[in-house]
Amino acid sequence: MPKTPTYRVVSNPVSASPAEPGGLTVLFAGESQTRPEHRVGPKVVDYYLLHHVISGKGVFAAGELRAELRAGHSFLIHPGRLVSYASDAEEPWRYRWVAFTGRQADSLVAEAGLCGELPVVDTGGARGPAELCKSIFEAFRTRKRSSSLEAAGHLHLLLAALQEAATEARPAALRPDSHAEELVRQVVGYLSTQYAEPVTIETMAEALGYSRAYLSRVFKRHTGMTPVAFLTQARVDHGRRLLRERPELTVEQIASSVGFRDGLYFSKQFRRHYGESPTEYRHSVAQTNAPQRRL
């Protein structure tokens, strides 16, 4: 029995003009049970337009490329790109869509793996993308002052779900060197952001899914230093910056701010790395920055 065609759309009640977007703004969202052979385009739009297929089949074309899509597929229309899409004659699409723009949109789309010539992701049986599209739609229906912010939050989660699906769809193992480089990048990112916290190499290794011994071995082979040495260096370097920029803070306060429990240990590590104590370094900076007296 043919399904009754439907079409529902709702706009962001507080959205900015597409010509002056913020960091990330959802413009509108909708849902449709299409008619058999329902066709759109060829056309261009001046915003990103993401569709997620809930049921049925159809074809999406971008330039000379085309893909047959079914339930679980998401496809993204890029601003200014000529595209067309059409529902199947026997099993027409039911899909939800979200239109968005903003300064962060390009980078978020790239992170989600939707920058190819045919930006399509197969999310399989995951219900998350469809539910997140619906959540954006419902956020706008409430017409609350927080609707735009709430919708942007759901969109971040939606793009994250698509990124995860795209990653799982490319299971080819990294080359040994590529794997090691990625692991080193993760360690550097972890320690560079959490240096001020009581982080340990054991907790980091557990969080990244490796043994401490393996992680330390790979990291030292590629950087020439252990993760512990890198963490200490990061803490000392940030402490040196605070000594220059925050003269009102004591050495003990700075030590605590960069992850050292003991001010004396911070001073010892600082002297080992820079050849002078924190107090001596601060004094030399003050002397350098002091206005010169005219004779």
pTM, two decimals, is: 0.64
In a domain, 243, yes or no: yes
Instruction: Give the span between the Cα atoms of 259 and 235, in whole angstroms.
Output: 7
Q: Which two tokens stand for residue 76?
A: 């993204």
Q: What is the mean pLDDT of residues 175-187?
A: 76
> Among candidates 128, 178, 184, which has minimal Cα distance to 158?
128
- Shared domain check, 90 and 182: no
In whole angstroms, give the CA distance from residue 11 to residue 271: 60
The DSSP secondary structure of 219-279, one letter per residue, reads HHHHHSS-HHHHHHHHHHHHHHHHHHH-TTS-HHHHHHHTT-S-HHHHHHHHHHHHSS-HH
pLDDT of 168 over the 70 cut: no
Considering the domain boundaries, does residue 40 fall inside one? yes
Q: Which residue is associated with the tokens 């370097």?
A: 237
Same structural domain for residues 110 and 183? no
**Rounded to an integer, what distance in angstroms lies between the CA atom of residue 17 and that of residue 11?**
12
Q: Do 147 and 14 contact (CB within 8 A), yes or no?
A: yes
Tell whether 113 and 53 lie within a shared domain: yes
**Within a domain: 1:** no
Q: Which tens digits make up the pLDDT trace of 273-291?
A: 999 999 999 999 888 776 6
The torsion angles phi and psi of 65, rounded to 5 degrees, stand at: -100, 145
**Domain identity same for 102 and 193:** no
Of residues 26 and 22, which shows the higher confidence score? 26
Cα 252 to chain centroid distance, Å, stands at 35
The enclosing domain of 273 has a CATH number of 1.10.10.60
Identify whether residues 164 and 180 lie together within a single domain.
Answer: no
pLDDT, one tens digit per residue, over 25-46 is: 999 999 999 999 999 989 998 8
Q: How confident is the model at residue 293 (pLDDT cuts 50, 70, 90)?
A: low
pLDDT bin (cut points 50, 70, 90) of residue 174 is very low
The region of weakest confidence among 2-6, 175-179, 190-194, 224-228 is 175-179
The Cα 199–Cα 203 span in angstroms is: 7
H runs (alpha helix) in 93-211 = 105-111, 128-142, 147-168, 176-194, 201-208
* Together in a domain, 54 and 102: yes
pLDDT tens sequence across 229-267: 999 999 999 999 999 999 999 999 999 999 998 999 999
- Report d(CA 138, CA 176) in Å as an integer: 46
Q: Enumerate residues 6+ apart whose C-beta is below 8 A from 212.
A: 201, 202, 205
Say if residue 71 is in the same domain as residue 35.
yes
Strand partners, 101: 25
Query: How many other C-beta atoms are found inside a 10 Å radius of the C-beta of residue 41?
Result: 15
Last residue of a domain, one of 168, 196, 223: 168
Residue 163 sits in the same domain as residue 188: no
What is the domain range of residue 206? 176-295
Question: Which tops the pLDDT comparison, 176 or 49?
Answer: 49
Reply yes or no on whether the pLDDT at 20 is more than 70: no
In this prediction, residue 2 carries a pLDDT of: 63
Strands across the sheet containing 57-62: 39-43, 83-87, 57-62, 65-70
Q: Give the chain's domain count.
A: 2
17 has a pLDDT exceeding 50: no
- Is residue 251 domain-resident? yes
Q: Do residues 103 and 148 both lie within one domain?
A: yes
pLDDT of residue 173: 42
